Structure 1
Amino acid sequence: MEPVVNGKYAVEYDEVDHIYRNVMATGGLLKKPMPPHYDVKGGSMAHLFEFMADKYEDKDAVGWRDVIKIHKVEKKAANAGDKPKTWITYELTDYNWMSYRMAKTYSDRVGLGIKNLGVNKGDFVMIFASTCPEWFLAAHGCFSQSITIVTAYDSMDDKSIQFILDQSQPKAIFADSTTLPVVAKLMQKGNTGIKAIIYTGQDWEVSDNIKKLEGVEGRDFKLIHIDELKRNKGADAPGKGKAEADEEDTEVEGEASTIETVYPEADDVACIMYTSGSTGTPKGAQLTHGNLMSAIGSASAMEGDLLNKDEDVIISYLPLAHVLEFVISHFVVSMGCRLGFARARTLMDDAVAPTAGSGRTKGLGDLKALRPTLMAGVPTIWERIRKGMLAEVNKLSFPFRTLFFAALNTKWAIVQATGSENFVTNMIDKAVFAKARELVGGRLRLTLTGGAGISDETHRFLSMVMCYVISGYGLTEVCGVAAVTMPRMGHRLRTVGPPAPGLELKLVNVPDTEYTGDNGSGEIWFRGPAVMKGYFKLEEETKKVMTGDGWFKTGDIGTVNPDGTISIKDRVKNLVKLSHGEYVALEKCEAVYRDAKEIKSICIVADSGCPVLLAVVEPSHSGATDKEILEVLKNQAKASGLSKSETVMGVIVDDEDWTTNGFMTSSSKVKRREIRKAHDKQITEMWKKF
């Protein structure tokens, strides 16, 4: 299948209803990974993992670093009278690796262990843990027995987790050292129906919370470490640690052949993936095995030829409870590439201590230790990487700073003029950008940005300094892969590529706006094998977003470009008509303002009919004033070419940590409702001035 035909990546095959399909899907939408990259015998994730193990066998599949020791250093506060800050660094091992066959054996035996606990086909297991190999393997253990996983972000609060427990009623919970405190607290409140708490982590990390769980009054659930579970022990048992467990795996690997896989059907629910709850309580999207297989198939059809199974390694650090990380990780590892797990807090060197006897004065962060060639991220991550690189550039002397930015602009001009990189741009990379690239390991050749819109400036900077940036678009309800760009398109801004071959796209008129299907724009709806089954136990919510003939209403406004690629404008609900009649796209503006180094987080506030835009801002440094930040935003708007209507005219500085005060979701999106509620009085008073 060719990804472009007559200069088009997608075509309008129904001009009446304005329905578009990828040119690779004009003969039918893609239901699962297909040849030449795959030869999967069935339509489930269990079949996919079996294919991977059979094809790649002894090749390294899953990698991780163990924590040797945690160091705590108390630093004096910058301001007199403030409490001193505790700085934590982690002493880590080098990367350890597990082969495809060993990973399959591990997960099969975990699946049998879960079954022996009394969890059967169709039952639910909640995975509430940070991203790690055990998360991935526990999920596949469940899939191997047709058990549905229920996912929750490791950063979710007690209230959200209790809601998910009450709604889904899982038979078991898988947790780690990060989430065990929440599990222990909730189990002490008397959650019933849970047969087992399965956990991972070294004894010194989990012992305190295990004791709390052991002391739960009237406890009728088992406590078992995942390494013991895969030995199919049904009693409470501590773990031995992965290294020791892996040694046993090599001795009894043959046992895996005696474990009977209970293959799911394509229509069986593989995962109830709970959203991070930006507009209220979390909603559980029911994703079937067929949904996930279609999404992985779409990713492989569009990007599969780019991967090199002998060279490529992807770093996995975003929450696996987020559909972007879940699907991309599975796509890459199913192509025979290595999957290296990392922690968001140890990606960079500054949070890693040198190992004893290494002779180093500073530890290696996960990026430098793994040196990945592939990486996925959300805009907030890429913006921080850009700002980090710029901070290093600004330390250089004036001539070198001037050279850096001249090289950046020259390279951009070349790729825009020629459509691709060449000998000259390669020389610029080696001569000017090599040192900046070392900050992210030095080997990145492809990155993916998704989850929200990225600003033009961040996109341009990273695609020139770091590597090619693939822009992706997707939602949990369509398994995350709705559209992606491809390197053959060149370095392009403001597009997310054509619709995935597992989906067809429909443009629906947005009332009272110029966004109409006849104009090649409108609200984006999707239909196809990658669209969710519906929200779990939320029939009315499902009816709001799903039509009777299978269309999912994304709530996003987009335009289909002449070549069939899509450009996302904003959310329908974030498109605000100001008092003078002009529409403003809030998320687009926020992406631009976040580029300013003084801005850590921003939420633009506007109602239909209001005179101007206001903003609540978390500054990147303490002590910033409203006046100072307003000046920063106005300068940023002018430099970025925003219109007068898109320029923020009033600011409220809130320098609390938004990741801990309830203003951000687990997927790094602002909670507009919570921010508005917290500052409603100030906002109302400020609008009266205009």
Structure 2
Amino acid sequence: MTHIGSGFINLFGLKSPTPEQQGQDGVEPLVGIMMKNCPEWLMILWGNICYSFATVPVYETFSQKAARYILNITELTVLNTKLEFLKQITETITCTGDEDKKERNENEPLTLKTKHLKNIVLCNTDLPYKKGTFDIDYEQIPETGKLKDVRKYYKILLDLGIEIVSLKKVEEAGKNKPLPHVPPVPETLYMICFTSGTTGNPKGALLTHKNFTVNSCSATNDLIPPFFKITNNDCHISYLPLSHTLEQIVCFVITYLGARIGFYSGSVMNIVDDIAVLQPSIFITVPRLLTRVYAAIKSTIEKGSMFSRSMFDFAYQRKLKLLKSGYCHNQTIWDKLIFSKIQNKFGGNLRVTIVGSAPLDEEIITFLRVTLGCFVLEGYGATETCAVSTLSLWGDYLYPYGSHVGVPLSCNELRLDPISESEFVPNDHTDCEYGEICIRGRTVMKGYYKNLNETKKTIDENGWFHTGDIGKILPNKTVQIIGRKKFIFKLAQGEYVSPEHIENIYCMSTLVSQCCVVGHTYASCLVGIIVPEFEEIRKKLKKKSLNELNDLINEDE
């Protein structure tokens, strides 16, 4: 980390803030990262921390317009990436991608549309170098697979005046002239984390070292009970984007506790194979993946014989009874006889799964706790609050009031603000409270980067961050997520609908790949758009001997 941070200073002239400047706005040098999860991502991040640089992730799935906006507004001069993204970067900074074709004159010469980007650091571990140096010999880069035409884009960047160096060269420059660390203070800027910008320009959340340190410590103290020891035998598979705050918090905690981090191969489609190799004991994931896992397991069970289905149901009910008694483990006879095949698909060592980013149906959570024999916890948060704001408690396996995302972390306060014209109000049958979820505490961001208006809209004068999510506080004081405030709408008969909740229920079916529910204030019903799982439908139709319908599907394709 010392060599990387020192190399940035020696090669690119970055300057750490002085002790007098620490904590002031806009004094930290900004270093960009645009690549998928890998060891180099964390090495650069931690190198930045050592010298009080602020990190700016540029998520590789951002639109080129959004990425260009981030590069320009932050005035980034250094971007760390890999060869596979050179084409995307070239098209972004020259406006030559598919998104910009309509607006660009074909006869216009290539020019930079980003004013400040001057240096690209390639972090590939297998780069060809000129003899005796760490200077890249780009003409020797193999152009296969994802690297098709990569030399062309490399040459375009050089011609535009962009300097391209290897991470090895940066480390060499730091090793030859190591510099003393410049540790940050709590208010020093740690990261500018941009939203996706689907409804406009991305908004950059200003997150400080205090935000991340407090959240990491609270997550460690609140999440991990004394009986759950994490050691260097434990392994976390890093596949959720490091560009997002949740994965960074997890990696901080895992590193602090001395456990291991394994990185996925780069494609979510191969995540099952990666899990089989890494055999993780800690798995942080999102509802969509677990929903697909649930659907796949249910589909496999349905294909089995009547005897195997009966055995599964019998074993499931026995373990469910144990779960309701407060026992969640994989040491029963039913695990060895019935559920071991499912558990081995996840490497056979899984101890805890944490899910966030969207609500997960209680049926799926219970099913996974039984079949995987591990703790499945659900959390809630936002980029603006450093990812984790609430978390379900260990041992809370019953849902008398429906699924929930637990209680606030010890570093946060949580309240519900009333929402106008909503049916989400207490009635005669419940003492639940409904409203917009608001969070206050030391994990809340300083504001949005160069966007005072949006900051004032989101954080009120008392320091409460308004999430835009509708929730309710259940009688046992846990928090349940209803949906996004702006996504809840009223039908003609006055009924309010959360389409996201309905979509999640439909996606639990093995026959549904994707679902979108839409409605209108002047209509009395909803419209659902379904993308089917055609392979599953074919199997169902063949099983029912409805071959004429199966032929019809084949003709449509």
Q: Deviations over 1:45-102 (max 9, x none)?
A: xxxxxxxxxxxxxxxxxxxxxxxxxxxxxxxxxxxxxxxxxxxxxxxxxxxxxxxxxx
Letter in 1 for 2:116: G
Partner SS for 1:216: helix
Please give the residue correspondences for 1:537-576 in structure 2 after superposition, counting only pairs within 5 Å: 537-576=450-489
> For 1:482 and 1:209, how far apart are their aligned partners in 2?
42
Checking the alignment, whether the CA contact within 8 Å between 2:38 and 2:263 is kept in structure 1 is yes
1:118 corresponds, among 1, 4, 13, to 13
**How far 1:566 sits from its partner (Å)?**
1.2
**How far 1:186 sits from its partner (Å)?**
3.0
Letter in 2 for 1:111: G
Letter in 2 for 1:451: S
> In the alignment, which residue of structure 2 is the partner of 1:108?
2
Checking the alignment, whether the CA contact within 8 Å between 1:347 and 1:367 is kept in structure 2 is no
**How far 1:162 sits from its partner (Å)?**
1.0
Partner SS for 1:487: coil
**How far 1:211 sits from its partner (Å)?**
4.9
Partner SS for 1:167: helix
Checking the alignment, whether the CA contact within 8 Å between 1:297 and 1:502 is kept in structure 2 is no
Checking the alignment, whether the CA contact within 8 Å between 1:119 and 1:171 is kept in structure 2 is no
1:480 corresponds, among 387, 398, 401, to 387
Q: Deviations over 1:174-213 (max 9, x none)?
A: 1123422211323454133223101122334769535523
Using the size of structure 1 for normalisation, the TM-score is 0.66
Checking the alignment, whether the CA contact within 8 Å between 1:372 and 1:444 is kept in structure 2 is yes
> In the alignment, which residue of structure 2 is the partner of 1:390?
298
> In the alignment, which residue of structure 2 is the partner of 1:295?
215
Checking the alignment, whether the CA contact within 8 Å between 1:510 and 1:516 is kept in structure 2 is no
> For 1:108 and 1:606, how far apart are their aligned partners in 2?
55
Checking the alignment, whether the CA contact within 8 Å between 1:298 and 1:481 is kept in structure 2 is no
> In the alignment, which residue of structure 2 is the partner of 1:147?
53
Partner SS for 1:488: coil
Letter in 1 for 2:115: T
2:518 corresponds, among 605, 609, 634, to 605
1:506 corresponds, among 394, 398, 415, to 415
Letter in 2 for 1:501: S
**How far 1:608 sits from its partner (Å)?**
3.2
Does residue 529 (structure 1) correspond to residue 442 (structure 2)? The answer is: yes
**How far 1:532 sits from its partner (Å)?**
0.7
Does residue 341 (structure 1) correspond to residue 252 (structure 2)? The answer is: no
Unpaired runs of 5+ residues, structure 1, are: 1-106, 234-251, 351-364, 629-654, 657-690
Does residue 413 (structure 1) correspond to residue 321 (structure 2)? The answer is: yes
Checking the alignment, whether the CA contact within 8 Å between 1:525 and 1:554 is kept in structure 2 is yes
Q: Deviations over 1:378-401 (max 9, x none)?
A: 111111222333344344333112
> In the alignment, which residue of structure 2 is the partner of 1:175?
81
Partner SS for 2:407: coil
> In the alignment, which residue of structure 1 is the partner of 2:203?
283
> For 1:522 and 1:485, how far apart are their aligned partners in 2?
20
**How far 1:622 sits from its partner (Å)?**
7.7
2:90 corresponds, among 184, 189, 200, to 184
Letter in 1 for 2:278: L
Does residue 464 (structure 1) correspond to residue 370 (structure 2)? The answer is: yes
Checking the alignment, whether the CA contact within 8 Å between 1:522 and 1:557 is kept in structure 2 is yes
**How far 1:228 sits from its partner (Å)?**
2.4
> For 2:52 and 2:495, how far apart are their aligned partners in 1?
52
Checking the alignment, whether the CA contact within 8 Å between 1:463 and 1:491 is kept in structure 2 is no
2:66 corresponds, among 149, 154, 160, to 160
Partner SS for 1:231: helix
> For 1:431 and 1:481, how far apart are their aligned partners in 2?
37
Partner SS for 2:51: coil
**How far 1:322 sits from its partner (Å)?**
1.7
2:494 corresponds, among 555, 577, 581, to 581
> For 1:176 and 1:269, how far apart are their aligned partners in 2?
25
> For 2:269 and 2:214, how far apart are their aligned partners in 1?
31
**How far 1:491 sits from its partner (Å)?**
5.0
> In the alignment, which residue of structure 2 is the partner of 1:621?
534
> In the alignment, which residue of structure 1 is the partner of 2:404?
495
Partner SS for 2:56: strand
Label 1:344 to 1:578 Cα distance change in 2 as closer, same or farther (>3 A).
farther
> For 1:290 and 1:614, how far apart are their aligned partners in 2?
46
> For 2:147 and 2:81, how far apart are their aligned partners in 1?
10
Unpaired runs of 5+ residues, structure 2, are: 17-27, 95-110, 128-141, 542-555
How many residues end up aligned between the 2 structures?
485
> In the alignment, which residue of structure 1 is the partner of 2:167?
226
> For 2:450 and 2:364, how far apart are their aligned partners in 1?
40
> In the alignment, which residue of structure 2 is the partner of 1:137?
43
Partner SS for 2:224: helix
**How far 1:410 sits from its partner (Å)?**
3.3
> In the alignment, which residue of structure 2 is the partner of 1:372?
280
> For 2:82 and 2:329, how far apart are their aligned partners in 1?
47
2:123 corresponds, among 172, 190, 200, to 200
> For 1:226 and 1:432, how far apart are their aligned partners in 2?
49
Label 1:347 to 1:613 Cα distance change in 2 as closer, same or farther (>3 A).
closer
Letter in 2 for 1:198: V
> For 1:217 and 1:407, how far apart are their aligned partners in 2?
63
Label 1:483 to 1:507 Cα distance change in 2 as closer, same or farther (>3 A).
same
Checking the alignment, whether the CA contact within 8 Å between 2:218 and 2:411 is kept in structure 1 is yes
Bigger Cα displacement from structure 2, 368-377 vs 489-498: 489-498
2:351 corresponds, among 421, 445, 449, to 445
Partner SS for 1:615: strand
Label 1:377 to 1:580 Cα distance change in 2 as closer, same or farther (>3 A).
same
Bigger Cα displacement from structure 2, 381-390 vs 448-457: 381-390
Bigger Cα displacement from structure 2, 284-293 vs 613-622: 613-622
> For 1:621 and 1:195, how far apart are their aligned partners in 2?
48
> For 1:620 and 1:192, how far apart are their aligned partners in 2?
46
Letter in 1 for 2:306: F
Aligned residues: CA RMSD:
2.7
> For 1:547 and 1:187, how far apart are their aligned partners in 2?
36
> In the alignment, which residue of structure 2 is the partner of 1:245?
none
